[in-house]
Amino acid sequence: MPLWFKDAIFYEVYIRAFADGNGDGHGDFRGLTAKLDYFKELGVDCLWLQPMYASPLKDDGYDISDYYRIHPDYGTLDDFKTFLAEAHARGLRVIADLVLNHTSDQHPWFQAARASRASPYRDYYVWSDTDQKYKDARIIFLDIEKSNWAWDELAGQYYWHRFYACQPDLNYDHPAVRREMLNVIRFWLDLGLDGFRADAAPYLFEREGTNCENLPETHAYLKEIRRFMDDHYPGRILLAEANQWPLDVRPYFGDGDPSTGSGQAEFHMAFHFPVMPRIFMALAQADRTKIVETLRATGRLSIPENCQWGPFLRNHDELTLEMVTPEEREFMWRTYAPEPRMRLNLGIRRRLAPLLDGDRRKLELAFAILLSLPGSPILYYGDEIGMGDNIWLDDRDGLRTPMQWDAGPNAGFSGRDVPSERLYAPLIDDERYGYRRVNVAIERADPNSLWHTVRRMIAVRKQNRAFGRGRHEFLPLKNRAVLAIVHTYNGETFLTLNNLSPSPQRLSPTLRQWKGARVRGLLTGREFPPVTGKPYALTLQPYEYFWLKLDRPTSTGPGAASS
């Protein structure tokens, strides 16, 4: 089974926000197709498309009313096929959201289910005469929902929903539901899709007396999906959205390696939810401890060789603070969400650049960390140019505004003549992050821009497989303001250093085990003095980062000197 995803750079695309190909003010597949070269230029290998299916859009498409149709705002199935063919022609892969846990209440299954107890679809959902069952399940959309049960007048019963009330949970105890979802999976994989990001994976089954998350039944069904994919579509992948503690994320990888026939595999990849908020904490506290502890915890629960973590900084949702202690949450809110409007549910509705005060040094450092953590990094559209947000828009809409392509009318997102009121959401137009200042055209033209810096980091990362495949160990520096990771792979050694603090940091590690090694900065080409075995003096400027290659003369031979 090809492990392409272990070296890949992922990029999350909100289709509506990316590029409008027909001038109706909404991004679509035609627009996205026209932008495919952009991803190549940046060095992206795989796009993750947010839901593209028919939907009343009460939760931006995570409320699906027909799994087999493309949302008309995004185009037609033919537009999708053209897009996919064009992406594949460029060597890009594409995965899409697979919303397993729930449908829209407008889905014909739910409409039939609520209309009659005799309907064959009744049992597709979870009904009850009381709203007192499964009391131990937390409420996720806390700011809006007061219960996971909603009363349905027509049905004369309550139905179960882990997200918005307009998203009734499917009943995975029903074999027909399990079959339906395999059909959905087959349909899109037959069209050539390279896999799925499985939305809300932990919540498929409910059992009394549990918190209804990560249940053995849920894992068993996810393994069934994986088996189905391995049998019929080898090389396609499953990426888990399982926002859980390290101990509970680990089981989503399963135990097996299908190529050896041992154990039972589950997901190829899982987002590294545990480390994400801790990167922000580490930056705010100038202390690497939380990152190291979390990576150690997840590293101890080591994942199978054929699996990969998916680290990320931001995505289309609020920066989740569900899996942190109450004290950590308070700290994060105080530091990163001083205005009440910046908070949403148990999280923070802000984009990367505003979170980091638009400070170029911190932004670069955040990308340097993301791109050097164990795993295959996942970028969120617009963060590579330092786009801003609009906390005054509803729900999470302020993180999903139109991509800023240039300083022209409609930021180049839609036609020049399209009235701006027609855009699905207002452009970011403030002084600091507005499209006139922050856009792809300006950054592409400036070799020193954030965009170019990120592009170069991606390129360097891709030339060195140790980043995606290597062993990663922490250098136990006394100075906790510096995060230092040693990456080794196939006899090659890299050392990445990150100064998390606003002041210069002096280091003098011995690096004894690399005595005699030549030291070269991968991002700058700068030559450092060789390692002598005596304390190796290094100074990192505020928020500075180094990616160093350590070439040991004995193991690499003279030919390596020119590499």
How near is the Cβ of 395 to ligand GLC at its closest, in Å? 9
Compare residues 99 and 483 and give the one whose CB is closer to ligand GLC: 99
State the Cα–Cα distance between residues 241 and 140, nearest whole angstrom.
Answer: 14
Compare residues 197 and 290 and give the one whose CB is closer to ligand GLC: 197
State the Cα–Cα distance between residues 320 and 277, nearest whole angstrom.
Answer: 7
Compare residues 11 and 547 and give the one whose CB is closer to ligand GLC: 11
**Which whole-number Å values give the CA distances from 313 to 278, 288, 346, in the listed order?**
10, 16, 17
| Cβ(499)–Cβ(541) below 8 Å | yes
Q: Select from 162, 171, 167 the least CA-distant residue to 59.
A: 167
Angle, vertex CA 33, rays to CA 32 and CA 38, nearest 5:
75
Compare residues 59 and 152 and give the one whose CB is closer to ligand GLC: 59
| Cβ(29)–Cβ(16) below 8 Å | no
3-state secondary structure of 467: helix
Q: Which residue in the list 73, 105, 169, 241 is annotated as catalytic?
A: 241
Q: Which residue in the list 97, 199, 213, 364 is annotated as catalytic?
A: 199
Instruction: Annotate each residue in 43-82 with x if it binds ligand GLC (CB under 6 A) or - if it does not, as one string.
Output: ----------------x--x--------------------
By rule CB under 6 A, what count of residues binds ligand GLC?
A: 9
Instruction: Annotate each residue in 144-183 with x if it binds ligand GLC (CB under 6 A) or - if it does not, as one string.
Output: -------------------x--------------------
Instruction: Annotate each residue in 190-229 with x if it binds ligand GLC (CB under 6 A) or - if it does not, as one string.
Output: ---------xx-----------------------------
Please identify the residue of the shown chain whose CB is closest to the bound ligand GLC.
Answer: 62
Among 169, 194, 317, 443, binds ligand GLC (CB under 6 A): 317
How near is the Cβ of 553 to ligand GLC at its closest, in Å? 49
Q: Which of residues 223-282 bind ligand GLC (CB under 6 A)?
A: 241
State the Cα–Cα distance between residues 333 and 331, nearest whole angstrom.
Answer: 5
State the Cα–Cα distance between residues 375 and 373, nearest whole angstrom.
Answer: 6
Compare residues 14 and 514 and give the one whose CB is closer to ligand GLC: 14
In terms of phi and psi (left: phi > 0; alpha: psi -120 to 50; beta: otherwise), the region of 357 is left
**Which whole-number Å values give the CA distances from 17 to 226, 401, 442, 497, in the listed order?**
31, 6, 19, 35
Residue 199 designated active-site: yes
Instruction: Please name the residues in contact with 336: beta carbons below 8 A apart, sequence gap of 6 or more.
Output: 280, 284, 319, 342, 348, 350, 355
Compare residues 109 and 163 and give the one whose CB is closer to ligand GLC: 163
Q: Is 285 exposed, middle or buried (0-12, 13-18, 19+ CB in 10 A)?
A: middle
| Cβ(185)–Cβ(98) below 8 Å | yes
How near is the Cβ of 339 to ligand GLC at its closest, in Å? 22
Among 17, 54, 99, 201, binds ligand GLC (CB under 6 A): 99
**What is the set of active-site residues?**
199, 241
Chain residues in the site for ligand GLC (CB under 6 A): 59, 62, 99, 163, 199-200, 241, 316-317
